[in-house]
Amino acid sequence: MIGRTTQVVDCRESMGLAKGGGLAQRGTLSEATKPDVIAIAMSPGRRHITKPVCEMTYGLRREGIQTSVLVLEAGTGVPESFPQGSRGYGPTFGLSEKEVEQIARHKIAVFHLGNVRSHVIFKAKEILSQVDIPAVVVAQCPMDLEDFAKEGVKTRLVKPSRQKTQTLGEVVDLVTGITRGATCNRVKLNQLAKVLNKHLAEISEREARELAKKQKR
């Protein structure tokens, strides 16, 4: 029971980490009954803290939004597409075929991929290059849709040229000012819920129109 609504969640493929099992391990999916929203988090570690993904998820579920959570297997570091001059020698960010399939069966994604602007952009680009899904990016640092479009990421309002477009999916909204490793305040949770409800409503309307067209045929 979450708030006034009962939601069933198929929770985690393996036991959680830390005292009480509170932190999900890498490579695990907590799947909601309806595949509406999937929140995607980095892999947990000393420098990569998945908080406040669980708080955001719980807050969204309290608002009646069916939300799954995926903690990536290789969610640290930067992808191969990141500029080589500033890449360093750390881990490489990427998705497995299983994770691509898990993300693709949802209607919209929420990305929580760190606080460094360039890292967030290139991680989002890596995911959206493999999955055709609308995404809301959550981050601490200020950024706008133009920052994504400059790197070949399709966005709702700013489109890169056809030759420079490198993604299947697109960034449809941003919610900034959510700090990694810190409690997410109610104002930001409300903002995220409002954004998701808006886009879910638009997706439902679009699906209804497409269904009506098929029935007329």
Instruction: Give pTM, 2 decimals.
Output: 0.86
Task: Please give the Cα distance from 82 to 19 (Å, whole number).
Answer: 36
For residue 14, tell me if it sits in a domain: no
Name the domain count of the chain.
1
pLDDT score recorded for residue 21: 41
For residue 10, tell me if it sits in a domain: no
Q: Which domain holds residue 170?
A: 26-214
For residue 210, tell me if it sits in a domain: yes
CA distances from 76 to 114, 119, 171, 201, 205 (A): 9, 10, 21, 33, 36
C-alpha 184, offset from chain centre:
16
Q: What is the mean pLDDT of residues 32-59?
A: 81
For residue 5, tell me if it sits in a domain: no
For residue 12, tell me if it sits in a domain: no
For residue 173, tell me if it sits in a domain: yes
pLDDT digits 0-9 by tens, 170-196? 999 999 999 887 888 899 999 999 999
For residue 182, tell me if it sits in a domain: yes
- Give residue for tokens 């803290």: 49
CATH number at residue 201: 3.40.50.360
For residue 11, tell me if it sits in a domain: no
Mean per-residue pLDDT of the chain: 85
